[in-house]
Amino acid sequence: MIKIGMIIGDRYEILEKIGTGGMSDVYKGKDHKLNRFVAVKVLKQEFSENANFVSKFRVEAQAAAGLMHPNIVNVYDVGEEADVYYIVMELVEGITLKKYIEKKARLSVKEAVSIAIQVSMGIESAHNNHIIHRDIKPQNIIISKEGKVKVTDFGIAKAATSNTITSNVMGSVHYTSPEQARGGYSDEKSDIYSLGITMFEMLTGRVPFNGETTVAIAIKHIQEELPSPRDYVPEIPISVEHIVCKCCQKSPDRRYQSMAELIVDLKQSLINPDEDFVKVIDPDEEASTRMITDRDMVQIKRQSDSRDSMEETMRLRRNSARYYEEDEDYEDEDDEDWDDDEEDYDPRMEKVTTILAVVAALLIGGIVIFFVGRTLGVFEMVAEEAEKPQEAVEQQVEMVNVVGMDVEEAKRELLELGLTPEIQYEVSTSNKAGTVLRTSVQDGIMVDMGSNVILTVAQETEGITVPSVTGKSQSEATSTLEKEGFVVNAVESYDASVESGYVISQSPEAGTTAPEGSSIIIRVSQGSEENKVRVPNVIGMTEMDATALLTESGIPVGNVTEEQNEDPALIDKVCYQSYSVGSYVEKGTPIDLRVSTGPAQGTYRYSDSITPPTEDAEYQSGMMVTVIVTAADGTTILNTQTNSFPVAANYTGIRSATGVITFTFTVERQETTTTDPETGEVVTIPGSSETKTVHRPITFVEE
């Protein structure tokens, strides 16, 4: 029996209970040997008494202890003590995927795919070690506070046979594969099915099959087709829909055959979400019986004759002496073969052979013409002409309407299209400063990618003259512009004529005016195009989604910090990236991110004299009173005891506008004696003590 405070295994102190499941309870513990906190999973008593289950549990838990992967809750130790069977695991501070889905109703596609990739990588590591989970579900997936996804409960799931599945673990039936529901053999592809159901729930906020009993749900897994997740959330991309459907095929042979295959498609869906690249193989169709054609018969006979001829040649070389001795039998067999060939002769064969000879001659002639034409350059000219219109189409984009937008938002829109924004300012009293007044290209017009688009932006005053930085190094240009009070946005592009690291052009141009604090775009040369990647836009994404997109682009994430941002829509989302959208960087160049904590909050001060709690009639001067001042956000500003009022208070930097003063004091009542005037009976009322509390709302003054 586990109790709080006890030590098991001579090293693990049980501190508190943090969870419970169908077969085990989980406690927070401390490993006194390594001085670290751990999670201790203890088998429930009813399973500890089943020797068969305990034996399987011990074997599988020890196997799971050998798994080490960033996406698996690592097992540190396995043991037993006084009929208590336990597993010591990594303690992950976070919430289960199930609670995360309930909290958000459903997840975005990118977030769901990112989580699925991490889960798949953890399961793949287990499969490579010949360990099958058999109980993949959101309850067994933990998302840490840092956003890391980890799979837990390896080992216990495999030990849980049909004899141990009770009403306590009925939640698993929503994610069980058809072969598990039948009680049949299950393997790695059973985990793939369960992960597919988990992905369905992440994307839609619901499980595909539900029912009043576990049996009813299990039957649906076996018999009913999986509904499309797009029936519930139409914006789910087709590639993600097909990935889920392939994972959840009834036949294991039609699912992904390994986690590695699934990971490839999941990553591809992040890059090309609307592309139909998922292939579902029908083993029944692949192995179906089909009618053999005359052409097939010719090919088969040729292969058979060729193979027989080769075998005869090899036999003659190895056993010539024996064949000569048995020459009579050999001749008889040979005569029979020729007789069979004559009987099988088909006049159509000669016609087919003639046609094949003509086709072969035409092919040889075509090859000769090709090489002659290639030598003369004919095909290259034709190819160039054929490719020209296609390239022109591929390099053109449709201009979008950015008039009326904030200049920063407009720049992001254009950079995402592959266009280069250039800024010029114009004094305007009727428009908010920073608003795009007009553009050099009208919306709806097709323009070449990389084209410059001039944005005319409103400013309130004439502003500051922009210095010339073209031809300077990036660091010198940045320093020059920042000294004048401008913010620099560097956009990297290829230019073989300008040395790498030097400014090709600037916007606004030198000599024009721009408001102090406005952004100046400098195009910095990266030399000739080599191993470069284009920086995607991750502003407005969660840290997890941004990390997934950058990783897929070949760009690692550098430092991630938090900062205040005035846009409330960016709370808990990326509000800054260290390289501009659309710029080019070397593969492997880390990009720093900043995540918004929300708008900067105003601060308040509290400067007052706190008077005694006369709101309560029983308060008397000189009583000892505990005085606590608490802000609305829960921050304690003052906590003191006094019997002398008023109490001086002078505090600044308070984050909330309101608060409350709580007075706590004890009233001592003396014993009293009274006489009933009618009966003359003396009544004694014993003394008593009562703790009383008074709450006084207060409002702080803005600083």
- Residue 633: phi, psi to the nearest 5? -85, 5
Query: Coil, helix or strand for 371?
Result: helix
Prior bond of 613 cis (ω within 30°): no
Four-point Cα dihedral 249, 250, 256, 258, nearest 10: 150
For 319-450, where are the alpha helices, taking DSSP H only?
A: 320-325, 327-343, 347-376, 378-394, 407-417
Q: Which two tokens stand for residue 620?
A: 């008397």
By the 10 Å C-beta count (0-12 exposed, 13-18 middle, 19+ buried), 135 is classed as buried
Q: Which of 135, 191, 265, 495 is catalytic?
A: 135
3-state secondary structure string, 554-567?
CCCEEEEEEECCCC
Query: For residues 580 and 415, is the Cβ–Cβ distance under 8 A?
Result: yes
Pairing between strand 452-459 and 420-427? Answer: parallel
Of 507, 505, 510, the C-alpha closest to 495 is 505
d(CA 271, CA 263): 13
Query: Coil, helix or strand for 430?
Result: coil
Helices first, then strands: H and E counts in the chain: 19, 33
Which residue type does 246 have? Answer: K
How many other C-beta atoms lie within 10 A of the C-beta of residue 565? 20
How many other C-beta atoms lie within 10 A of the C-beta of residue 631? 20
Give every CB contact of residue 345 below 8 A, 6+ residues apart in sequence.
Answer: none
Of 412, 484, 471, 417, the C-alpha closest to 444 is 417
Query: Coil, helix or strand for 673?
Result: strand
CA 207 to chain centre: 20
Four-point Cα dihedral 14, 17, 21, 24, nearest 10: 20
Query: For residues 232 and 202, is the Cβ–Cβ distance under 8 A?
Result: no
Query: For residues 671 and 687, is the Cβ–Cβ distance under 8 A?
Result: yes
d(CA 693, CA 661): 10
Give every CB contact of residue 44 below 8 A, 6+ residues apart in sequence.
Answer: 23, 24, 25
Residue 508's Cβ-side half-sphere holds a number of Cα atoms within 13 Å equal to 25
How many other C-beta atoms lie within 10 A of the C-beta of residue 302? 10
Which residue type does 392 have? Answer: A
Query: Is 335 a catalytic site residue?
Result: no
Which strands sit side by side in the sheet containing 557-563, from one edge to the other?
Answer: 557-563, 591-596, 574-577
Active-site residue list: 135
